Amino acid sequence: MNWKDFKKSGHWPTLLAAFLYFDFSFMTWVTLGPLVVYITRELNIPVGEKFTLIAIPILAGAILRVPLGILCDHVGAKITGSIAQIIVIAGIAYAAFVGLHSYVEVELLGVILGLAGASFAVALPQASKWYPPHYQGIVMGIAGAGNVGTALDALLIPSIAEHYGWQIAIGTLLIPLIPTLIFYMLVAREAPVPRKPVTWAKYKAIMTDVDSLWFMFFYFITFGGFVGLANSLPLYFTIQYHVSGVAAGLMVAIVVTFGSFFRPIGGALSDRIGGIRTLQVLFGIVACAYFAASFLPSGPAPVNAGGAVVAGWAFSDLPTQAIRGLILFSVGVLCLGMGNGAVFQLIPQRFKGEIGIMTGLVGCFGGIGGFFLAKALGTSKEMTGDFSAGFLFFAALVLVGLVSLILVKKRWRTTWGAASGARI
C-alpha cells in the first residue's frame, strides 16, 4: 500500500481522533468484565447473575448504536460523539465518588457503559467518509482497532481493584476519558460530503435488504464473539482454572490484544484478497476454536491461594490447563478480530451511501451477539455445571455463517462487488 497516497487521500487527524475516541470508549464499555469478580464478591451475587451483569453493557451498547447512528446522520458525528462521551464521564464520576451499593445500581452503570460501547456507530463512519473505496478495509480496521482498549482494561483495572478497591478502579477511567474528549472536540472534523438525514422509510428499506441482514449475521459472529469473550473470560478463567483476579486480567489482556491488533490486518488482507475469502478462512478456524474450547478440562485449585481479594493461581504459576486455554482463546479471538476488519471491508462497498446506518445496525447486531455469548456461557454453567454447551452452540453458529458465505459469494462478486472497484 502507498502510505503517502493514503495520508493524502483522507484526513488523518480525524482518523486518529476517531481511533482514540473509540479506544477509550471501548475500554470503558468492557470495564465490568474484569471488575465483576470483585463487585459480585462484595455484593454476594450468584454465578448466573454474574454473567448477566457483564452482558448488560453489551446489550445496551448494541441497542444504543442505532439511535447514535441516526443522530450522526442528523447533527453530525462530532456533536453526537461529544454528547455521548460527556454522559459516560458523568456516570463514571458518580460511580467513583458516590459509589454503587446494590445490584440495581451496578445494572444502571452497565447501561451507561453501554453508551460508551455505542461509540462504534460514531467513530467508524466518521473515519470512513474521508477515504475512497480501495482504502476502506485499512481505514475501518484502524478506527476499529480501538478494541485494544479492552486489553488495557484487562491489564490495568484488576490490579487497581486489587490494591485500591473496585470503585477507585472505575474512577481511573476518567484519566484517559477527559483528555480524549478534549482532543476529539478540537481535532476531529466532519468529512466534506453532504449529510443526508435518514428517514424511517430508508431504515425499513435497508432492514429488508437481504445483504444487510447477512452483514448483521456475520458481525453477530465476529464482533459478538470478540466482545462476548472479552467480557466473559475474566469470570471463565477464575471459575475454570481457579486463577486470581489479577492473573485473569493478564490472561484476558493477552487474548484481546491479538484480536485488537489484528483487526487492521484483517481489513488490509481483505483489501488485498477480498473480504469473502478472508472471512471463509477465519470462520473455519473460529469454529474449530469454539469446538475445542467446549472440551477444555478445568484446572486444579491451588493449595495456597494467597491473601488476594480474588485469590487463586498467580500468572507466573498458571497450571498447564490454563496455559492451553490461554493459547486456544488467543488464536480464536485473533481470528474474530480479523473477521471484524473483513466484514467492514465489505460493507462500504455495498452500502457506501448508507455507511452511517449500516454501521449502527451491524454494530447493534454485533453487540447482541456478544450479549448472547455471555448469556449462553452463564446459562450453560448454571444448568449443566460447565461451559461446554455454550461453546458448542456458537461453534455451530459459525459453521452456519461459513455455509452462508459460500452461498452468497457468487452473487456478491458478480453484482455490487464487480462495480465496487475493490476486491470482494
Instruction: Provide the 8-state DSSP code for 101.
Output: -
pLDDT in tens, the chain (424 residues): 555 666 667 778 888 888 888 888 988 988 888 888 888 877 777 777 888 888 899 889 888 888 887 888 788 888 999 999 999 999 999 998 887 788 888 889 999 999 998 887 788 778 878 777 777 767 777 776 666 667 778 888 888 998 888 889 999 999 999 999 999 999 888 877 766 666 777 778 888 889 999 999 999 999 999 989 988 999 999 999 999 999 999 999 899 888 878 888 898 898 889 899 999 999 999 999 999 999 999 999 887 767 777 788 999 999 999 999 999 999 999 999 999 989 988 988 888 777 767 877 888 898 899 999 999 999 999 899 999 999 999 999 999 999 999 999 989 988 887 877 778 8
Asked, for residue 6, whether it belongs to a domain, the answer is: no
Question: Is residue 99 within 8 Å of 230, Cβ to Cβ?
Answer: no
Instruction: Provide the 8-state DSSP code for 262.
Output: T
Asked, for residue 5, whether it belongs to a domain, the answer is: no
pTM equals: 0.83
Report d(CA 30, CA 27) in Å as an integer: 6
Domain range enclosing 302? 12-419
Asked, for residue 4, whether it belongs to a domain, the answer is: no
Residue type (1 letter), 30: V
Question: Is residue 137 within 8 Å of 344, Cβ to Cβ?
Answer: yes
Asked, for residue 299, whether it belongs to a domain, the answer is: yes
Which CATH number covers residue 334? Answer: 1.20.1250.20
Asked, for residue 2, whether it belongs to a domain, the answer is: no
Burial of residue 43 (number of CB atoms within 10 Å: 0-12, 13-18, 19+) = middle
The total number of residues written for the chain in this structure:
424
Total domains in the chain come to 1
Burial of residue 66 (number of CB atoms within 10 Å: 0-12, 13-18, 19+) = middle
Asked, for residue 7, whether it belongs to a domain, the answer is: no
